Amino acid sequence: MTMRDLLRRRLSGGAAATAVLGAPTIAAVLSMVLNDHLLKGSGVVPGILTGKLSDFAFLFFAPVVLVCLTRARSTPAVAAAFAAPAALFVAINVSPAASDLFAGALDAIVPSSHVCDAEDLVALSILPLSWAYLWRARPGQDAPRGALRHRWRQVLVTIVAALGCVATSQAPPEPMPPQPTHRAVYLSWEELRTTAVQVKAPQPVGKRGKLLLADGHLFLSEPGLGVHVFDNTDPKSPRALLFIQIPGNIDIAVRDGRLYADSFVDLLVFDLDLANGTARLAERLQDQFEYDPYQTLASDTPVHVEGLDKSRGVVVRLEPLRQTAEVAR
């Protein structure tokens, strides 16, 4: 058959109506409805199948239904009826903007959702099968006018069923907000800036931070807690000299007999008298840094804290909620 013969080929009258009401078409519509509203997310059928079943079903029956509606008979007209749903399918699975527009329009009719996924284009492979099924359909015998009207009602029901679930599934329920796992323990701004900073006797070293060597002394920061100072006269055996308690400390610097250290959002300046083993807070520059309420935690700590309130102060630690009643509150 030449290309000219193919273009001149015409679909038999009534063949499209027969195809629409045929078992394969009805089965495709029912498969989509069943898949979208029962099988997806049920765990009964693997997700890789439920994710594609509706796409194949839609691309099988949609062109046949469109041919019937438009009464297309010539090969170009039938091809155009096949191209329309195929083009829509490609657009909503390639363009996020088209997908959102499609989902929004459909959601105005029935709660629906659509995910833009180029991998779904594999369903286009069903189109040749749908094309062959349509062209092989044979129109039924002539029927009374009432029977034909009844048949068109059946077609209309099929179309409505298709439009109710066109490659979509019922919108998933809103996810539950994550439940708090920890409670914030605050240090008030007033306490932070009046009594929290202290010079103490040497303390055991915990987590090690930044290490500096200056003026024959070692300065070792312990993140979040403060700075350990050692006499390094004998490098083989440094002697603990004092501990400067600085809540929220991360970084330090030493210059010209002064220690500079951050304390959450403030910058502290200490005068050092290392010969006598003492230090004195000389200056506090407030609000020099941006506040991070999680800076006292390890970066890999999996937590959820509800309602952090900066006005209450800085978060010095988080306490886990152990009782269900506490989490519920």
When comparing pLDDT for 209 and 295, which is higher? 209
When comparing pLDDT for 202 and 309, which is higher? 202
Give the mean pLDDT of 90-114.
78
- How far, in Å, CA of 225 to CA of 212, rounded? 17
Look at residue 151 in the predicted model and tell me its pLDDT: 59
The pLDDT tens digits of the residues spanning 62-101 come to: 888 888 888 888 888 989 989 998 998 899 888 888 888 8
How far out from the chain centre does Cα 35 lie? 24
20: which 2 tokens?
Answer: 């629409």
Look at residue 205 in the predicted model and tell me its pLDDT: 94
- pTM higher than the cut 0.85: no
When comparing pLDDT for 307 and 31, which is higher? 31
| Residue 66 contacts residue 94 (beta carbons within 8 Å) | no
Residue 302 has phi, psi (to 5 degrees) of -80, 100
The pLDDT mean for the chain works out to 80
- How far, in Å, CA of 289 to CA of 285, rounded? 10
**What structural domains does the chain harbor?**
3-163 (no CATH), 182-328 (2.40.128)
Look at residue 304 in the predicted model and tell me its pLDDT: 63
152: which 2 tokens?
Answer: 């068109």
